[in-house]
Amino acid sequence: MAEAASQALVLGRTRLPPGRHGLPRDFVVESQRERLLNGVVEAVAEHGYNEATIGRISGAAKVSRRTFYEYFTDKDDCFLAAYDVIDDHIRATTLGAPGASEPWPDRVRTRLGALLVALAQDPAVASFYLVEPLSAGGKIAARYRDAMQLLAYTLRPDSPPCEADMEVRDQALIGGVTTLIVRRLNSGGATRLPELLPDLVELVLAPYLGREEARRIASARAL
């Protein structure tokens, strides 16, 4: 169910028409919730987090404000529910990418490639995932930081240096990765996100292998 919901949100799904339709109640309930999850993504994409009111979210979902409050307590609650679905999809995509038994440098490339492809599918979803949480602040920004920490963890080497503060290193690396992705998104280049792969591979490998070796590996894999 969670995977189906994530696909529906990230890839889109035909919405039910408003009004009576004779469908089973449990199907209607699930559809309304998914429409609201899509609605918050659409409203935030069009207006930004601060201006994405409950009215605009409900309007994008084609449900009433009353229906909104049947599922969510407020805008943040709806945003976080949508964020969790997207994050589940992103992590399943990256961790489920082929090559889990590959050497670490190849695994980094495989997972980063899967991440970029997933984000390139929909600029609104990519921005919702990586840009808007910092504008929201509070518990939404905290949820974003948790998601990025988990993402960074998937890129760690099998045997990281014992003396290194891995949490600090993770934060630095994922900060660099997301900065390059967001810069491309902000320039309207979502569909070209996969082009960033060699740069991101080099960025992640360099602290462990050295800049020259990381560049060599990233360049060789790009050929």
Tens of pLDDT, residue by residue over 173-191, are 999 999 999 999 999 889 9
Give the pTM. 0.84
d(CA 147, CA 161): 23
Domain extents in the chain:
2-74, 96-222
Instruction: List alpha helices for 1-156, DSSP H.
Output: 2-11, 25-47, 54-61, 65-71, 75-95, 104-120, 123-130, 132-136, 138-153
The mean pLDDT value for 153-167 works out to 76
Mean pLDDT, to the nearest integer, of 135-159?
Answer: 92
* Section 206-220 average pLDDT: 90
CATH for 2-74 is 1.10.10.60
Confidence of residue 6 (pLDDT cuts 50, 70, 90): low
User: What's the pLDDT at 223?
Assistant: 44
- Asked if residue 1 has pLDDT above 60, the reply is no
